[in-house]
Chains A and B, each alone.
Chain A
Amino acid sequence: MRVLTAVIAIAAGVLIAGGYFFPALTDVQTLLLNWAIILAGFATLVGIFNLIAVHTGKIRRGEKGSVYSALLFIALVATLFFGMILRPDHSTMKIVMNGIIIPTEAALMGMLTISLLYAAIRLLRRRADMMGIIFLVTAALLMLGSATLPFGNIPLIGTLLSPWVTQILALGGARGILIGVALGTLTAGLRVLFGADRPYGGT
């Protein structure tokens, strides 16, 4: 069974990769990608059941924070039930979206600002080395350079230093990192195509 899984996975990978280079394989590539999209849709449904299983387990065992698990379970079931009956375009469902989900995400984004500030403050405690100092000084200078001030840009920092760092140093570094990530992605993909890595379960 495991060999069959590996053969199917490798064949699908080779056909999809081949579709980018050989026009004859484009139809097969499109078909396989469409199947993948349908499977991803089903995976969402399985993910919801997984979430329910995790949180009902917590409620049953009376674990710490199980009240939140109960709240999540009720909200999930209610949203799913009313979403199926009323449809997502209904005004009530839009209220759920605009009144609960979006503000919650916005609140988390607000918390992120504090988290990042906290991380910057603690950076030198964690990394008291040259890289930590360079990181912090660069971040502070760039913030000063891009801040909206009543008297306009700070001379040198806002007009010269900040654009030079962002357009030359940071851009060059970012491209270098992205090239490295791309090469890593290439070899990770090849390992999966060869069956050396099997994220689909084989031992």
Chain B
Amino acid sequence: MTALVILISSAVLLLVITLWKRKSPSKLREIPAFTRLYRTLGLSVEDGTRLHVSLGHGSLLDASGGSALAGLAMLRIIAERTSVGDKPAVASAGDPTLGLLAQDTLQAGYQATGLADLYIPTMGRITGLTPFGYAAGAMYISKNEDVSANIMVGHFSSEAALLAEASDRENVTIIGASDDLTGQAVLFASTQDALIGEELFAAGAYLNDGASHTASLTVQDILRWLVIAALLGGAFAKLAGII
């Protein structure tokens, strides 16, 4: 019952705040990874290089689905912004359903900019079905396809180091985000800019993809304060012998 209340409250909050944010957009704190990503999007179009969006091997049928959805949301923005470039962005996935959705998302991005004819189905790829198999296939893209930036957003574990190192060798800019703790530690050590924790879900808001994304951040902040209050309240109640 508590979970249902949280879900409904979050949904109502998200709706109300989305409507509010449409009228008064908010100012966001600076996150270096997003500043670099914003610059990279423009640069790749200008210098005719490709962006590689690595979506990881998260499945939509398990707990890693959230990071997969965040990766797809970012892919959509990237597809729209880079569709006018000489070399289209490439997306790689380590899960078949995610790979299909990546193709669909890329296509939708091209349709939105009126360039549906430029969409090529092989821009969305499934490079392997195991974490290391996926990494091996995705490493190949960074090395051989004139990639200027590798944006790793999704479910990655320790295999992220292989992908990051392969990109680093080719002087490819790396921006990394994972929902997995091991993946986050590895990306922190091996990329210029890593997104930690919930920053993974903030891409849409930082890349100006609409009020619902900014509203999501506000809802997350409200829920986070509630969790903090509950934790502190629980600790106090335990100390006082109430529970």
Q: A: which residues have CB within 8 A of B?
A: 17, 20-21, 33, 36-37, 39-40, 43-44, 46-47, 50-51, 53-54, 57, 63-65, 68, 104-105, 108-109, 111-112, 115-116, 118-120, 122-123, 126, 135, 174, 176-181, 183-194, 196-203
Contacts and interface: CB of A to CB of B under 8 A. Distances in A.
B223 interface: yes
A146 to B, nearest CB: 15
Contacts of A122: 168, 190
Nearest to B143: A65
15 contacts: A17-B7, A40-B96, A47-B100, A50-B122, A53-B122, A57-B122, A105-B132, A116-B186, A122-B190, A176-B197, A177-B197, A181-B179, A184-B216, A191-B216, A199-B104
B26 interface: no
Interface stretch (B35-43, B123-131, B232-240): B123-131
B161 interface: yes
Interface in B39-84: 59, 61, 63, 65-67, 69-70, 72-73, 76
Contact of A174 (B105, B181, B216, B220): B181
Contacts of A43: 96-97, 99-100
Given A177-B196, A181-B179, A120 B70 contact: no
Nearest to B163: A115
Interface of B: 1, 3-4, 7, 10-11, 14-15, 18, 59, 61, 63, 65-67, 69-70, 72-73, 76, 96-97, 99-101, 103-105, 107-108, 111-112, 121-122, 124-127, 129-130, 132-133, 135-136, 140, 144, 158-159, 161-162, 164-165, 168, 179, 181, 184, 186, 188-192, 196-198, 200-202, 204, 210, 212-213, 216, 219-220, 223-224, 227
A188 B61 contact: no
Contacts of A196: 18, 210, 212
A111 to B, nearest CB: 6
A17 B7 CA distance: 10
A119 B105 contact: no
B224 A199 contact: no
A184 B198 contact: yes
Contact of A194 (B14, B105, B133, B189): B14
Contacts of B103: 50
Contacts of B97: 39-40, 43
Contacts of A46: 96, 99-100
Contact of B11 (A115, A176, A190): A190
B77 to A, nearest CB: 11
Given A21-B3, A184-B200, A118 B165 contact: yes
B165 A119 contact: yes
B129 A44 contact: yes
A186 B70 CA distance: 11
B66 A194 contact: no
B89 to A, nearest CB: 15
